[in-house]
């Protein structure tokens, strides 16, 4: 069947409603990052100021409002969240109401930051997860993507987290062939043991072909779209847009993947953002294939 | 007051039998000795242990009101896996082994029996409305861990499902939390496998109607775990599973644990 005929029969892409606001994301560092990874799907960099830092009052305000929604988990992302000078008080306030996850490159984790993180974690009944992005189990595989010396610095950060009682989740965008997964995992385990991380948690994520990743590997082709037919019998709640929203300094967006797309800006409040989204973007195809790749626990309630 | 639901004063609730028929028999005897007026099982009869068919007669003879868990649902419908959603290759390997074993050894008759079980049940505990479910009220395979289940989220579930008390299982680790406004969430844990605490006992929950909230007591049950380990070895079940029964530490399928729960364990 040609794409043209499929499109003719399904003129509109599926609409995904916000079934339940389980995952509230904060784009705390905007698009500002100390690194400039070649696969960054929102092209973050020290000089990418298209999204700016969220401030503490804004985060506190959303946290307070989020309780009426019964949010289940809070996520902090960027850019590099630890570039936001108010991240630690934000996390402390969050952990008073629910579990938090920080997506970090682990290169900005000096001893005093990690010590404070550990205190905050110890003071809460909820889990504080640190998710460390790496793209290969060695400098040779990681650094061409994330930058010179980043592997060593990130592993130092991982070691420091482990020393303070954390069990960071190492996430790696799958920039290798899927059949190499097990071999790559073994090398990750070995690298973790070198920094005394004895029971590492490692999660492999599919790469998203947006931003600089288009130049590094490829963009999406025209056949990579989600049609209404593809959604028949497909569990809607595997898509993050059915169960999450992301707060940025420019408003609430449908998901952290699409913040470069102004059409994904749903307004200035959680109420405004409580409406269906038409998943006609090419990145939606990656979600359709792999499920909610952004959260620790996969789709709504379950695990992916 | 909406009528129809049975009212109880004192109940025993457990989940996660995981084919551990010896622990099941011990837990039932323990609950009976504590004068409960009803016993509930929140599902996941199979997995992990030996001879899955042994648990069903025990549940029926003892009048245990049983729900269908994700594992039961998978086995009954002949799905490819247990719907726990592991992604780690090692976890998947072990989950697959026990799933295939359990599927093959569960008689068609019991598969049908599980398939017909309800997914949720409503009762009254004194004057509190309680909802019994497997994972969460909204989804059979949702994990409600202590460290990732916020108060506001429980309150939302209570509102949406018109309940004061939520009783669930599925994670294998018990916890309970009273909330303002007479609400309560209890994960009753599992009687099929130790709670990843280095003890060989398994746990169930005892609830006593009270005002403003039912009282919750978690009861450790000692049983002949060495006999179970022997049966498991005779059935060629993985050494890793047997180690868990003998040591009280989880050795597989740990990827789903949030950090706090994972850190308390050994692996
Ligand atoms: S992938 Fe992460 S660490 Fe790399 S540039 Fe983007 S935000 Fe920064
Ligand atoms: S990219 Fe994924 S999460 Fe975002 S709108 Fe598309 S399907 Fe939903
Ligand atoms: Fe379960």
> Which ipTM value was assigned to this complex?
0.94
Exposed / middle / buried, residue A236 (Cβ in 10 Å: 0-12, 13-18, 19+): middle
* pLDDT at A62 (0 to 100): 98
More confident residue, B68 or A299: B68
* pLDDT at A7 (0 to 100): 45
**Average pLDDT for residues B81-102, to the nearest whole number?**
87
User: Can you give the pTM of this predicted structure?
Assistant: 0.94
Residue ranges in chain B assigned as alpha helix (H):
21-33, 55-61, 70-77, 89-105, 108-115, 151-160, 225-234, 239-247, 259-264
Per-residue pLDDT reduced to its tens digit, A96-110:
999 999 999 999 999
Q: Using the atom order of ligand 1, give the atom closest to the CA of residue A33.
A: 8
Q: At residue A285, does pLDDT exceed 70?
A: yes
Q: Which ligand is nearest to the CA of A131?
A: 1
* pLDDT at A175 (0 to 100): 78
**Can you spell out the DSSP letters for B210-242?**
-SSS-EEEEEEE---HHHHHHHHHHTT--HHHH
Q: Sorting pLDDT into bands at 50, 70 and 90, what band is A236?
A: confident
**Average pLDDT for residues A260-266, to the nearest whole number?**
96
Whose CA is closest to A142, among A196, A187, A198?
A: A187
Q: At residue A300, does pLDDT exceed 80?
A: no
* pLDDT at B3 (0 to 100): 59
Q: Sorting pLDDT into bands at 50, 70 and 90, what band is A174?
A: confident
Which residue of A125, A158, A162 is the best one to mutate when testing the B interface, meaning the one whose CB has the most B CBs within 10 A? A125
Instruction: At A103, give phi and psi (nearest 5°).
Output: -95, 110
Vertex A60: Cα angle to A54 and A64 (nearest 5): 135
Q: Sorting pLDDT into bands at 50, 70 and 90, what band is A4?
A: very low
Q: Sorting pLDDT into bands at 50, 70 and 90, what band is A289?
A: confident
Q: At residue B13, does pLDDT exceed 90?
A: yes
From atom 8 of ligand 2, which residue's Cα is the shortest distance away? Answer: A241
Whose CA is closest to B73, among B16, B108, B115?
A: B115
Q: Sorting pLDDT into bands at 50, 70 and 90, what band is A6?
A: very low
Per-residue pLDDT reduced to its tens digit, A62-97:
999 999 999 999 999 999 999 999 999 999 999 999
Q: Which two tokens stand for residue B90?
A: 């090692």
The alpha-carbon gap from B168 to the nearest alpha carbon of chain A, in Å, equals: 13
For the ranges A49-63, A144-158, B72-86, which has the lowest average pLDDT?
B72-86
The residues, any chain, with a CB within 8 Å of residue A57's CB and separated by 6 or more, are none
For the ranges A136-140, A177-181, A294-298, B159-163, which has the lowest average pLDDT?
A294-298
Q: Is the CB of A225 under 6 A from ligand 2?
A: no
Q: Across the beta sheet with B175-179, what order do the strands follow?
A: B7-8, B121-125, B128-132, B165-168, B183-187, B175-179
* pLDDT at A5 (0 to 100): 46
Per-residue pLDDT reduced to its tens digit, B166-203:
999 999 999 999 999 899 999 999 999 999 999 999 99
From atom 1 of ligand 2, which residue's Cα is the shortest distance away? Answer: A284
What integer best gives the mean pLDDT of chain A? 90
Q: Which two tokens stand for residue A249?
A: 């300094």
Nearest CA in chain A to B252: A199
Q: Using CA atoms, how far apart are residues B142 and B157, in angstroms rounded to an integer?
A: 12
Class of domain B7-264: alpha beta
Instruction: At A84, give phi and psi (nearest 5°).
Output: -85, 115
Exposed / middle / buried, residue B62 (Cβ in 10 Å: 0-12, 13-18, 19+): middle
The residues, any chain, with a CB within 8 Å of residue A59's CB and separated by 6 or more, are A26, A28, A86, A90, A93, A94, A247
Whose CA is closest to A13, among A256, A272, A225, A238?
A: A225
**Domains parsed from chain A with CATH numbers:** 3-301 (3.20.20.70)
Residue A131: strand, helix, or coil: strand
Q: Which residues of B touch A (CB under 8 A)?
A: 83-89, 135-136, 138-139, 141-143, 145-153, 155-157, 254-256, 258-263, 267
C-beta of residue B174 within 8 angstroms of C-beta of residue B219: no
The alpha-carbon gap from B140 to the nearest alpha carbon of chain A, in Å, equals: 9
Whose CA is closest to B144, among B204, B196, B186?
A: B186
Per-residue pLDDT reduced to its tens digit, B212-259:
999 999 999 999 999 999 999 999 999 999 999 999 999 988 989 999
From atom 1 of ligand 1, which residue's Cα is the shortest distance away? Answer: A40
For the ranges A55-69, A172-186, B118-132, which has the lowest average pLDDT?
A172-186
Residue A56: strand, helix, or coil: helix
């Amino acid at each position: 069947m040609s794409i043209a005929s499929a499109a003719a029969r399904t003129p509109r892409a599926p609409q995904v409603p916000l079934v339940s606001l389980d995952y509230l994301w904060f784009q705390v560092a905007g698009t500002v990052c100390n690194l400039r990874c070649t696969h960054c799907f929102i092209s973050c960099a020290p000089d990418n100021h298209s999204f700016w830092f969220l401030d503490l009052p804004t985060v506190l305000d959303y946290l307070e409002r989020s309780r009426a929604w019964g949010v289940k988990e809070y996520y902090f992302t960027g850019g590099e969240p630890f570039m936001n000078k108010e991240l630690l008080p934000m996390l402390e306030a969050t952990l008073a109401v629910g579990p938090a996850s920080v997506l970090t490159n682990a290169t900005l984790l000096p001893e005093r930051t990690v010590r404070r993180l550990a205190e905050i974690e110890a003071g809460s009944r909820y889990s504080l997860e640190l998710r460390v992005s790496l793209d290969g189990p060695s400098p040779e595989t990681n650094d061409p993507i994330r930058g010179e010396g980043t592997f060593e610095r990130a592993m130092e950060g991982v070691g420091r987290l482990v020393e303070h009682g954390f069990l960071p989740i190492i996430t790696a965008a799958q920039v290798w062939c899927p059949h190499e997964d097990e071999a790559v995992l073994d090398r990750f385990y070995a690298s973790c043991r070198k920094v005394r991380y004895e029971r590492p948690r490692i999660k492999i994520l599919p790469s998203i072909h947006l931003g600089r990743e288009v130049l590094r590997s490829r963009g999406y082709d025209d056949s990579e779209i989600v049609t209404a037919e593809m959604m028949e019998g497909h569990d809607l709640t595997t898509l993050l847009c059915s169960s999450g929203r992301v707060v940025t300094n420019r408003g609430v967006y449908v998901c952290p993947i699409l913040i470069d797309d102004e059409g994904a800006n749903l307004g200035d409040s959680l109420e405004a953002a409580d409406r269906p989204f038409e998943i006609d973007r090419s990145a939606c195809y990656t979600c359709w294939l792999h499920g909610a790749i952004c959260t620790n626990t996969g789709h709504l309630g379950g695990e992916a | 007051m909406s009528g129809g639901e049975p009212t109880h004063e004192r109940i025993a609730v457990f989940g996660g039998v995981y084919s551990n028929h010896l622990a099941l028999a011990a837990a039932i005897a323990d609950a009976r000795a504590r004068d409960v007026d009803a016993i509930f099982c929140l599902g996941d009869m199979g997995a992990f242990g030996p001879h899955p068919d042994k648990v069903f007669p025990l549940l029926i003879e003892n009048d245990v009101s049983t729900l269908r868990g994700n594992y039961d649902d998978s086995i009954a419908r002949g799905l490819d896996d247990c719907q726990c959603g592991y992604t780690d290759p090692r976890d998947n390997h072990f989950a697959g082994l026990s799933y295939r074993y359990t599927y093959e050894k569960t008689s068609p008759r019991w598969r049908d029996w599980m398939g017909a079980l309800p997914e949720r049940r409503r009762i009254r505990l004194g004057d509190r409305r309680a909802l019994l479910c497997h994972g969460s009220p909204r989804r059979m395979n949702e994990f409600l861990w202590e460290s990732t289940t916020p108060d506001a989220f429980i309150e939302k579930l209570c509102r949406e499902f018109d309940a004061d008390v939520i009783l669930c299982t599925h994670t294998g680790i018990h916890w309970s939390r009273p909330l303002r406004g007479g609400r309560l969430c209890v994960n009753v844990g599992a009687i099929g496998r130790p709670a990843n605490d280095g003890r060989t006992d398994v746990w169930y929950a005892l609830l006593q109607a009270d005002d403003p909230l039912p009282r919750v007591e978690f009861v450790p049950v000692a049983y002949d775990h060495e006999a179970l380990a022997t049966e498991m070895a005779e059935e060629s079940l993985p050494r890793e599973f047997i180690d868990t029964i003998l040591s009280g530490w989880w050795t597989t399928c740990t990827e789903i644990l949030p950090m706090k729960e994972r850190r308390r364990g050994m692996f």
